[in-house]
Structure 1
Amino acid sequence: MVTINAMADAWREDLRLSILRLLHEAPGLTLNDSLLTKSVQILGISATRDQLRTEVGWLEQQGTIRCQVLSGLIVAELTERGSDAAKGLASIPGISRPSAR
């Protein structure tokens, strides 16, 4: 039986991986939180901007992204550690592992 907590953890882990993968594909490895929110929604992950910002903050604490605030937007830039996690070369607790394409 799947619990609500297990579902919430899986959602967060998938959202975090999606953020890293989107940044990995972005020009300059950088996107703002507005574009990230729209992009994860297109991928089928229902997340508000506030929820996305929470996970962006968590990813920054893990050293997978660097953030700065510009004109009220959070701009996230992928780090080498984040790139490795997005490609499945590094395993970080709390971030889903990418599946084979």
Structure 2
Amino acid sequence: MSYAETLSQHRRLTILKFLADSPEYTSNASIMEHVCNDYGVTTSRDQIMGELDWLQEQGLVTYKDNGSFRVATATSRGVDVALGKARNPGVQRPRPGA
């Protein structure tokens, strides 16, 4: 597995964990970009948009584009993956107790 793919898996997990902890399981792409960078997962806005596209294709999030920004919501399955109750290839599995 390449470094880029490993980073994407960690970025996807970071997004899902953040959404799982957010009110109504919802946040916008701008905040998710800051959260990923704060957790040491170097991320651009374009990468967040690409990861949200991928996560939606996998049924882990839904989102709405509102003009110049995107608002995403974790699905039940997305929350289960974030908590380690379910697995999805392409998303890093969380450590126990994390």
Structure-2 residue corresponding to 1:20: 16
TM-score by length of 2: 0.95
Segments of 5+ residues of structure 2 without an aligned counterpart are: none
The answer as to 2:84 corresponding to 1:88 is yes
SS in 2 for 1:66: strand
Structure 1 segments unaligned to the other structure (5+ residues): none
Tell me which amino acid in the other structure corresponds to 2:28.
N
Segments ≥4 residues shifted beyond 4 Å: none
Q: Equivalent residue for 2:70?
A: 74
In our comparison, the structure showing a higher alpha carbon Rg is: 1
- Counterpart of 1:75, as a letter, is V
Instruction: Normalising by structure 1, report the TM-score.
Output: 0.92
- Of 38, 43, 53 in structure 2, the residue corresponding to residue 42 of structure 1 is 38
Q: How many residues align?
A: 97
CA RMSD of aligned residues (A): 0.9
* 1:50 Cα deviation after fit: 0.3
